[in-house]
Structure 1
Amino acid sequence: MPPNTTASSGQQPGRPGRKKGRKARLLVLVLVLAIVGGIAYGAYWSISTVRASLPQTTGTATLQGLSGPVDVKRDSYGIPQIYASSDEDLFMAQGYVQAQDRFYEMDVRRHMTSGRLSEMFGKSQVKNDEFLRTLGWDRVAKKEYDTTLSASTKKYLQAYSKGVNAYLKGKDGKDISVEYAALGFTNDYAPQKWTPVDSLAWLKAMAWDLRGNMQDEIDRALMTSRLGPKQIADLYPEYPYSRNQTIVQEGQYDELTKTFEQDDDSTGTTDGTPAGGTTDTTSDSSGTALTTQLSSLYNVLDDVPTAVGVNGNGIGSNSWVVGGEHTITGKPLLANDPHLSPSLPSVWYQMGLHCRTVSSTCQYDVTGYTFAGMPGVIIGHNQNISWGMTNSGVDVTDLYLEKLTGDGYLVDGKVKPFTTRTEKIKVAGGSTKTIVVRETNNGPLLSDRDDELVKVGKKATVDSAAPDRSDGYGIALRWTALEPGTSMDAVFAMDRASDWDSFRAAAAKFDVPSQNLIYADTKNNIGYTLPGKIPTRASGDDGSIPAPGWDSKYDWTGYIPQSALPNEYNPKQGYIVTANQAVVDKDYPFTLTTDWGYGTRSQRITDLIKQKIKGGGKISTDDMRQMQLDNSSEIAKLLVPKLLKIDVDDPDVRQAQKLLEGWDYTQDADSAAAAYFNAIWRNVLKLAFGNKLPKELRVKGQCLTVEPADDTGPADEDKKVRECGERDADQAQPDGGDRWFEVVRNLLDDPNSDWWKTPASGTRPGASNEDQLFKRAMIDARWELTSKLGKDIDSWSWGRLHRLFLKNQTLGTDGPTVIKYLLNRGPWKLGGGEAAVDATGWNAAGGYGVVWVPSMRMVVNLADFDKSKWINLTGASGHAFSAHYTDQTGKWVKGELLTWSFSKKAVDGSTSDTLTLKP
C-alpha cells in the first residue's frame, strides 16, 4: 500500500474478501518463506526470482533507439554515472537505469499521482483515488505536456520513457521486483508502459507535500470555534525579525526598479497585498458550515498518500553557501540537506549524467540527486555551478467556502454552473467505481470526497455517480500547481546553466513548488533566488484563513512578477543561509506568506558560521559536514535554566532533574538528559495547550502507531502500541515544532497566563502558573520515561525513544508481517531532534519516533568537485535483496559522507561495474 494509508475493513491490499484474503495470506507466506529460506522445495524458485529482478550491471545490453553506445559506470555503492554522446541517448539510458533499480517505486508513484492505486492494491485505496482524481494531478500534467513545455523538454521526456519501456519489454512483474511477485497472489496486475506524463505528474505530488500553509488555514479557522482573537494570536506569533535573520540581507527584490515592472515571461498583475488582512465569512451559518466542512476535511487529508513529506506538516530543509573569502579552498562551499519523510527506498536517487564531449548536440555534464521516474538532476552541480533547495513555504493555496445551490454555486449573487467531469476508478479484481468531480471558479470541491458531508440520494446506484447533494456549503481548493506550468523546463535549464544569469533565467521557470534556491559557481560567486508562481490577493485578504467563494473580491488578482521576487548576489557578509525562515523583512510590499518557519535552524546555522569565521577563521568541507550534524536544542537552552530552579520534593523526580545539571543541550543518541528534557517539553505542550485547543484539530497522525521502545527489530503487529500519552484521544495537542518554541518563549513573559493553568489529574497536582505547570511536566515526564525506559535513569537514552524505522512504502507498511520483515529495516537510534540543524523530527502529539529526516546530505566543493561529499538515506537500489538497498544508512546515521566522484578520471577510479548499452 502507499504511504500513510490503512486498509479498510482490516483487509490487505487487493483482497476481495475474507476467505480469499486468508488464502492470499497463506500463498504470500509460502512465497516469502521460500525467498527467505532459499531451501527445500522453494530453493530454485526463490533464487531465480531474486536474480531475475536484480539489474544487470556488467557486460553489454541492447537498447533499441540509441544512436550510439552508452556506458553506465557504477561505484561500490551502486551509484550510476552515465556517459553518452547525445542528449537523447543520455536520458534514454537514465530511464533504463532508474527502471533497473527502482521501477516498482516508480510504478507506485505514477499510480498515486494518477489516482489509480486501486488498480494495484484493491478496494482499500478507492477513497484515496477519489481524492487524487479530484485534484487531477495527471490531467494538469497532460495539459502541461501538450501546451506549456518546450520542444526540447518533450524530446527528453520521450527519450526517458523509451528507456524505461526498453527495460520493461518482455518482463513479467516477478522479473522486475519481489513486490510484484507478492502482489501476483492477490490480483492480476501487470505493469504498463511509461509515459512522459508519468514523469511530469510526480512534480505535482512533490508540490502537494510542499504546498505551504493550507493546514494552518484550516487550523486557524477551526480555532475560532473555541478561542478568541488574542488567544489565536498567542498561538501564531509574529516572526521574530529582530532575533532570527531573514534570508535576504543585502539583496533586493529588484534593485533596479522599485515599480516592480512585469518581466516578459511573467504572468499576473502588480497589485500588492498588505499583510494582516482577515476574512469575514459574513454570517453565523457560514461560519458553522466552515467549521463542519474543515473538521471533516481533516480526515480526508490525513489519508492522502504522501510523496516526499508528512502531508505538508512540519517538514523543512537546510541549505547554505559560504563564499571563497571564508573557506580554506578560496572557492565557495555549498551544503544542502532536505528534510523529508523517511522511506525505503529513499525518495532521492543519486546519479551522474555526462556527455562525453559537451556540445550543442550533447549539453549536459551534471551530477546529483533526482527522483526515480524523472529525467535530469534536481539538486547538485554541473561543471560550472552548484545549487541547493529548501522549501520556501510561500502561500500558494487558498481554501474557499462555497455556497452551493442546485447544479451550481453562487458568485456575487448569481448562480454559476459547475464544471464537471466523470472519473472511472478501476479496482483490482474487476470492479469499477464512478465519481463525478465538480469544480468552481476557485478549483475542485474537495468536500465532495467526504461521505459525511455529502447527502446521497435515497436510491443512489452505481450508475448514479453524482447523487443529489442538495443546497449547502462546500470547500474548494485554489492552488498554483493545478495550472499547467514549466517546472520540468526549469530542471533541464538549471542542469546546463553556466553562470548566475543563466541560472536565474532557468530558476524563473521553476514555478511549482516554489523553492529557495542557493547558488555557487567556480568563479567564486554565490547567490540566492526565490522563483515560483505566487498569487496576489485583493486588499484585505492575506490568505491566512479560508475565504468566502461567493464574493469575487476574494479572488486571486494575479501573480507576483518575477522581477519583484527576492534575490541576493554576493552579499557583503559572504554567506547565505536558507532553512525555511522568513525570506524578507516586513517592508517587502507583497505577502509571500503569513506562516514562515520561525528561524530556529537558520539562526543556529548562521551563528555557527559566524563563530567559525570570527577573527578570520576559514571553513572546510568537514566544517560544513559538522554543522549539518549540530543537534543542540534551542528550546532547551531557553527552558532548562528555569527547570533547574524549580523546587522538587519527589526524590525520583529530583533524580531526573539532576540530569539537566551541566547538560550542554546537545541531543546525542546516548544522552539521558536529552531524553528527559524532550519528555518534559512534550508534557509542557500537552498540559498548557492540549485541553484548550478545539477537538476538531485532532488528526489521526497525532496518535501514532509505533514500535515499543525496547524492540530491537521490526515489530510484529501485535506488539505495536498507540502513543497518545495520558491525554484523551479526542484532545488536540501541538506537534512541538519551532512555532511552539516561539509561542512558549512569548508566554514566559506572562507567568500567570491562562495558558499555564491545568487541572489536577489523579495524584498529579494541577497548576495555576508557569512554575507549577513546569513542575507538573517534570513529574509527568519522569513517570512517562519510567514506563517507557525503566526506573533506572542510568539506562535512559534519547536514542531509545528517538528511533528510525525504514519501511517499504507499500507492502512494508500494510502487508503481512512476514513481508514487512522481509522489506523493512531498522531500528536505528538517532540523535538530533525537532528544529535542530540535525533535524530528525518527531511529532510531540504522537510520541518520540522519527517522522522526518535529513533525506540526504551533500557538501559541494567548488574548488575541486571531486572533493565534494554526499550521502543518501538508504541506497541506490529499491530491491530488498540488493547489496545497495540500505548500504548507505549506517554511514548516514553516523553523519559520514561518501566521496562524490565527478571528473572522468575520478569516476573511472571509483568504478566497480561497467555496463555498455548498445543500439
Structure 2
Amino acid sequence: MATTFRWLLRLFLGLACLAALVVIVLYWFAGRSLPDYDRTLTVPGITSGVEIVRDSSSVPHIFGASDPDVFYGLGFAHAQDRLWQMTMMRRAAQGRLSEIFGRRTVKTDELLRRLDLYGLSVRSVEAQSAQTRAALSAYAAGVNAWLDEVNTGALGRGAPEFFLFSPQIARWQPADSIALVKLMALRMSAQLPNEVLRARSSLLLEDDRLRDLMPDVPGGGITALPEYAALFPKMRGMQFAAAERAQEGDAFYPVGPADFAGASNAWAAGPSRSATGGTLLANDPHLELTAPSIWYLARLELDTGGVIGGTIPGIPAVLVGRSERLGWGLTSSYMDDLDVYIERLDPDDPQRVATPEGMQTMRKRNSIIRIKDSEPISLTLRWSQNGPVLPGGHAGLAQITPPGHVTSIAWTGLSDSDRSIGAAIALMKAGSVEEAIAAGKDFVAPSQNLTLVDAETIALKTIGAMPRRDQDHQSLGRMPSPGWVAANRWKGLFDYASNPEFVAPSGGILGNTNNKLLERPFPLHVTYDWGDTQRIHRWRRLMQSREVHTRESFIEAQLDTVSFTARSLLPLVAADLWYTGAAAADGTPERQRQRALELLAGWNGEMSEHLPEPLIYAAWLNALQQRLIEDELGPLAGEFIHVQPLFIERVYRDIDGASAWCDIRQSARLETCSDMARMALDDALIWISERYGRAFESLRWGDAHQAAQDHPVLGEIIGLNWLTNIRQSTSGGDNTLRRGLTRGTGPDPFQNVHAAGYRGVYDFADPDSSVFIISTGQSGHPLSRHYDDLGELWRRGEYIPMSLDPQLARAAAVGVTRLLPRPAAR
C-alpha cells in the first residue's frame, strides 16, 4: 500500500509539474505579443520622428512633425493594442470570417457579401479629398509597420488569439478603414428590424392595436429647453453670474433587434447656464459591451492643435472628444435612412423583377465564401434598381415576403462615394461650431446627432444623408413597400441644410437622448421610430432643476439611475393592488405579493445595484408585457424582448380602447388589467424565488444586472472565458440616463449588455479639468494590466483626466515609443 501511495504521489506530482510547465510555456508564447511601450524603432513611411507617450492609463499621446506622421502613429498604437479586434472587424466587413471560424459565421459573411460593403469602400477611396487620402494612407502604413515588427521580431503573432486561429494577417489598406465605418453604420441602424417587425405585427393585429404596441412618439419634440426665467416667472429680470437575431454562436452578425442599435446621451450648456462662464458638454455613446471595449482613448497633436477623446481601432479619427477650441459628442439620430422593398419576380424569368418601366433583369455577380473545414459556398449576388437583394433568412424577411417575390433594401450607407471618414477627420480640425457644422456636410452614415460646443456657442446638428421620399409613398417608409411602384422609390437626397439644426438656443441648454427632436411633416419628418421616449423626461428635470450647471452636475446627470419609467408606470399598473386586503399568512403567494408591494411602495425609482426593488420591478413589468401580448402575437411575442413603456401606459390608461389587451382571448372569463398585473407579479416573484431565493429584502439588482463584457471569441471557450470576460455589478437600467440595456432573453435576461462604453465631460472654462473613461482598458491583450484597469473606475462612475498638456502625459508615462524614419536604401 505504501509503495502504491508513493507511486501515485509521484504520478500526481509529475502531472502537476507537466501541467505547470505547459501553462508556463503557453503564458510565455502568449506574453510575447505584449508590446513594449518603451522602445525606439526605425520604420518606413514617415518623414520625421513620431513620439507615442503613453500616460499612466496607457492613453497614447501622439506627436509628429506633420499630420500624416501623427496618423501613422495612431495606426501603430491601434495595432499594438487592438490588432485582433481590428482584423476581425475588417474580416466581418469583407465577409471573410468563415475562413477562420467555419460554418457558424457563414450567415454573417453571406449578408456582408450581398451588401458589398467592402467593394463600396474600395470604390469610395477615390472620392476622398487629398487630405483624407493622405491620412488613410499614413494610418495604414502605421498599422503595417507594427505588422512588420511582429513578423521580424517574432512577437507572438501580434495577439494571443492568432495562436488559436489563422495567423495570416493581410496588410492594412485605406479602404479597410472606410469599411469599418460602414460596418459600424450597419450595426447602428434600427430601420431594417423595425420595418420587418412592424410588418409582421401588422399581419396579426388591427390598426388600433398595432398603434398600441408600436405607437408614434407623442409630442412635438424636445431639444433646446426654454429660458430658465420662463420656467420660474419670479426670476425674470434677475442677473445670473456669467457662466432576426444573430446566428447561434456568431457574435459578429451585424443586424439584431432594433433595441440594440446605437443609442447615446449628449447635452450642452452655454455660458449663461454655466457656473464658470464656459461652455459644458457631456456625451456617453451606447453600444454593445465587449471585452475589449469598442472604444480606445487617444490624443493626437495635429497641425491645428491637440485633439483627445474616443477612437475606434481601425478608424483614424477621434470620433468623440475635444480639441483646445471645440468639443463634440454623438448620439444616434434614428433617421429613417433605409427602406425595405418587396420586388415582384417575373414568373417566366426569376432573374427579372418588376419596375415602373416594366420587367428588367437584375444585376448579378458571383462570389465564393471559403469555409474552414468545409467545402466553399458559391453565392449569386443580385441587385434590383432599389438595392441589393437579401434572402429571407436575414432579419425575418421570409415572414413578410410573398411567394414569387424577393426583398431588397435601399440604404444611404450603400454609397460608393462615401466621404464620412473625411468628415470625421475635418471635424477634428474645426475650430468653431460653425466650422464643425460645415464639416458634417460630407457625412453619409451612420446618421448621428452631433452636439457641439466652442468657447461661446452650443449647437446640435443632425448629420448623415436623409433620403427624399415621395409625398405619396405608400408606407411612408415605415414598412416594406412594393418596389415597382414609382411613388415608393427615393427621389435622391435632401440637402444638408434640411437636416435638423439648433444653434445657440435662448434657454442656454440643449441635449439629446435619442428622443424625438422635432415635429415635421413627411417626408421631412426625419423618422417615425425615435430611440427614446423615457430618458428625456429625467434629463429635462435634472437640467431645469438648476439655474446654472457645472462639470460635476453634468457628471451627476450622466450617472443618474432614477427611472422615470418606473415612477410613472408603477402607480398605473399597481393602482388596485396597493394595501388591499388583510395581511396574508407567511409562505403564501398572497404574502409574497404583499411583501413585494410594500417594498415598491417606498421606492423612489432609483435603479441602484444595491437595492431589491429594481429587480422586482423589472421582472414584474417583463412578465406583464409577455402576458399582455402573447395570446395576440403568439411566437412573435418573443421578438418584443424589452418592456415598451408607451404600450404599457396606453393599456393601463385605456387610450383608444387599449385595455382590450388585458383580456386573454383563449379564456372564457373576462380578465381585467388588475388581474393581469396581479398574475404577472406572481409570475415574477416565482421566477425571482427560484433564481435568487425568497428573502426579497436581501435581493440585489446588481446580481442580475451584471455588465457582461465578453470577448467575442475567447469568451465562449471554457477555461479561457474566466481570463477574457469581464463581469461587474452595475446600476441603471433600460430607461435610465445611466443606461444599461438588458439582454432581454435567456437564463440571464437582466444582464447589462449595451451601455455607455465611453463617457466624457468637457468644461471649456478649464479644458484640462475635462474627464473621460471607457468600460474596459486600452489593451486587447488579456494578459496586459491595461486589459481591464479602467473597468472598475467605469463601474464606480469615476473618470480619468483629459488633458492636452504634454508635460502631464510625460510625468507619469508607462512608456515612450519613438519611431524614427528608416534611412533610404542606397
Fold shared per TM-score above 0.5:
yes
Deviation of 1:781 after TM superposition, in Å, equals: 1.5
User: Alignment partner of 2:776: what SS?
Assistant: coil
Deviation of 1:599 after TM superposition, in Å, equals: 2.9
Q: Deviations over 1:212-255 (max 9, x none)?
A: 3222211111122211111111122222216xx5225689xxxx
- Partners of 1:314 and 1:68 lie apart in 2 by 42
User: In structure 2, what is the equivalent of residue 832 of structure 1?
Assistant: 732
> Is 2:191–2:336's contact at 8 Å kept on the other side of the alignment?
yes
- Partners of 1:451 and 1:328 lie apart in 2 by 49
User: In structure 1, what is the equivalent of residue 515 of structure 2?
Assistant: 581
User: In structure 2, what is the equivalent of residue 892 of structure 1?
Assistant: 794
Q: Deviations over 1:297-342 (max 9, x none)?
A: 7777996825698666364110000112222221011000111110
- Partners of 1:681 and 1:886 lie apart in 2 by 34
- Partners of 2:763 and 2:85 lie apart in 1 by 32
User: In structure 2, what is the equivalent of residue 715 of structure 1?
Assistant: none
User: In structure 1, what is the equivalent of residue 484 of structure 2?
Assistant: 550
| 1:687-698 correspondence to structure 2 within 5 Å | 687-695=627-635, 697=636
> Is 2:423–2:443's contact at 8 Å kept on the other side of the alignment?
yes
> Is 2:54–2:813's contact at 8 Å kept on the other side of the alignment?
yes
- Partners of 2:245 and 2:620 lie apart in 1 by 28
| 1:242-321 correspondence to structure 2 within 5 Å | 245-247=221-223, 305-306=252-253, 313=260, 315-321=262-268
Deviation of 1:558 after TM superposition, in Å, equals: 1.6
Deviation of 1:483 after TM superposition, in Å, equals: 1.1
| 1:635-784 correspondence to structure 2 within 5 Å | 635-642=565-572, 643=574, 645-646=576-577, 647=580, 650-695=590-635, 697=636, 731-732=637-638, 734-737=640-643, 740-750=644-654, 753-758=659-664, 768-784=671-687
Q: Deviations over 1:767-807 (max 9, x none)?
A: 71121111112211211111111011122121121112221
| 1:542-621 correspondence to structure 2 within 5 Å | 542-586=476-520, 590-613=524-547, 618-621=548-551
- Partners of 1:752 and 1:559 lie apart in 2 by 38
1:221 is aligned, of 171, 174, 199, to 199
Deviation of 1:694 after TM superposition, in Å, equals: 4.9
User: Alignment partner of 2:443: what SS?
Assistant: coil
> Is 1:748–1:770's contact at 8 Å kept on the other side of the alignment?
yes
Deviation of 1:553 after TM superposition, in Å, equals: 2.1
User: In structure 2, what is the equivalent of residue 237 of structure 1?
Assistant: 215
User: In structure 1, what is the equivalent of residue 465 of structure 2?
Assistant: 533
User: In structure 2, what is the equivalent of residue 376 of structure 1?
Assistant: 317
- Partners of 1:590 and 1:191 lie apart in 2 by 45
1:55 is aligned, of 25, 32, 35, to 35
Q: Deviations over 1:643-696 (max 9, x none)?
A: 26413651121112111121111010011111111111111111111222253x
Amino acid paired to 2:719? V
User: In structure 1, what is the equivalent of residue 367 of structure 2?
Assistant: 423
User: Alignment partner of 2:313: what SS?
Assistant: coil
Establish whether residue 97 from structure 1 lines up as the match of residue 1 from structure 2.
no
1:197 is aligned, of 175, 178, 184, to 175
> Is 1:686–1:733's contact at 8 Å kept on the other side of the alignment?
no
Deviation of 1:40 after TM superposition, in Å, equals: 3.9
Structure 1 pair 790–619 and aligned structure 2 pair: CA distance change class (3 A): same
User: Alignment partner of 2:814: what SS?
Assistant: strand
Structure 1 pair 570–306 and aligned structure 2 pair: CA distance change class (3 A): farther
1:437 is aligned, of 381, 387, 399, to 381
Q: How big is the alpha-carbon RMSD for the aligned residues of Structure 1 and Structure 2?
A: 2.8
Structure 1 stretches of 5 or more lacking a match? 1-33, 252-296, 455-468, 698-730
- Partners of 1:374 and 1:777 lie apart in 2 by 47
User: In structure 2, what is the equivalent of residue 143 of structure 1?
Assistant: 123
User: In structure 2, what is the equivalent of residue 16 of structure 1?
Assistant: none
| 1:450-529 correspondence to structure 2 within 5 Å | 472-484=404-416, 485-522=418-455, 524-529=456-461
User: In structure 2, what is the equivalent of residue 343 of structure 1?
Assistant: 290
- Partners of 2:28 and 2:520 lie apart in 1 by 63
- Partners of 1:410 and 1:916 lie apart in 2 by 61
Deviation of 1:733 after TM superposition, in Å, equals: 5.3
> Is 1:766–1:776's contact at 8 Å kept on the other side of the alignment?
no
> Is 1:690–1:733's contact at 8 Å kept on the other side of the alignment?
no
> Is 1:322–1:334's contact at 8 Å kept on the other side of the alignment?
yes
- Partners of 1:565 and 1:124 lie apart in 2 by 40
User: Alignment partner of 1:556: what SS?
Assistant: coil
- Partners of 1:565 and 1:194 lie apart in 2 by 34
> Is 2:193–2:395's contact at 8 Å kept on the other side of the alignment?
no
- Partners of 1:452 and 1:232 lie apart in 2 by 18
User: In structure 2, what is the equivalent of residue 629 of structure 1?
Assistant: 559
- Partners of 1:752 and 1:138 lie apart in 2 by 46
Amino acid paired to 2:808? A
User: Alignment partner of 1:557: what SS?
Assistant: coil
Establish whether residue 911 from structure 1 lines up as the match of residue 804 from structure 2.
no
> Is 2:426–2:439's contact at 8 Å kept on the other side of the alignment?
yes
User: Alignment partner of 2:681: what SS?
Assistant: helix
> Is 2:276–2:550's contact at 8 Å kept on the other side of the alignment?
yes
User: In structure 2, what is the equivalent of residue 700 of structure 1?
Assistant: none
Amino acid paired to 2:39? G
Moved more, 108-117 or 640-649: 640-649
- Partners of 1:452 and 1:864 lie apart in 2 by 51
Structure 1 pair 354–453 and aligned structure 2 pair: CA distance change class (3 A): closer
**TM-score computed with the length of structure 2 as normaliser:** 0.88
Q: Deviations over 1:870-900 (max 9, x none)?
A: 1101010000000000111111111111112
Q: Deviations over 1:176-211 (max 9, x none)?
A: 11111122xxxx541111111111101111111222
- Partners of 2:256 and 2:383 lie apart in 1 by 27
- Partners of 2:143 and 2:460 lie apart in 1 by 35
- Partners of 2:226 and 2:396 lie apart in 1 by 52
- Partners of 1:831 and 1:162 lie apart in 2 by 42
Q: Deviations over 1:33-80 (max 9, x none)?
A: x9x999743365334323320112113122222211111111121111
Question: Paired residues, what number?
Answer: 766
Structure 1 pair 207–37 and aligned structure 2 pair: CA distance change class (3 A): farther
Structure 1 pair 84–39 and aligned structure 2 pair: CA distance change class (3 A): farther
User: In structure 2, what is the equivalent of residue 179 of structure 1?
Assistant: 161
> Is 1:226–1:694's contact at 8 Å kept on the other side of the alignment?
no
Structure 1 pair 500–450 and aligned structure 2 pair: CA distance change class (3 A): closer
User: In structure 2, what is the equivalent of residue 403 of structure 1?
Assistant: 344
User: In structure 1, what is the equivalent of residue 774 of structure 2?
Assistant: 872
Amino acid paired to 1:394? M
> Is 2:256–2:395's contact at 8 Å kept on the other side of the alignment?
no
Q: Deviations over 1:259-318 (max 9, x none)?
A: xxxxxxxxxxxxxxxxxxxxxxxxxxxxxxxxxxxxxx7777996825698666364110
- Partners of 2:570 and 2:23 lie apart in 1 by 59
> Is 1:215–1:313's contact at 8 Å kept on the other side of the alignment?
no
2:48 is aligned, of 48, 68, 71, to 68
Establish whether residue 326 from structure 1 lines up as the match of residue 273 from structure 2.
yes
Deviation of 1:96 after TM superposition, in Å, equals: 0.7
User: In structure 1, what is the equivalent of residue 64 of structure 2?
Assistant: 84
Amino acid paired to 2:676? L
User: In structure 1, what is the equivalent of residue 134 of structure 2?
Assistant: 155
User: Alignment partner of 2:786: what SS?
Assistant: coil
- Partners of 1:812 and 1:844 lie apart in 2 by 20
Structure 1 pair 303–118 and aligned structure 2 pair: CA distance change class (3 A): closer
Structure 2 stretches of 5 or more lacking a match? 1-13, 228-243, 585-589, 822-826
- Partners of 1:829 and 1:476 lie apart in 2 by 42
Moved more, 92-101 or 325-334: 325-334
> Is 1:494–1:503's contact at 8 Å kept on the other side of the alignment?
yes
The alignment-based identity, stated in percent, is: 27
Structure 1 pair 232–51 and aligned structure 2 pair: CA distance change class (3 A): same
User: Alignment partner of 2:638: what SS?
Assistant: coil
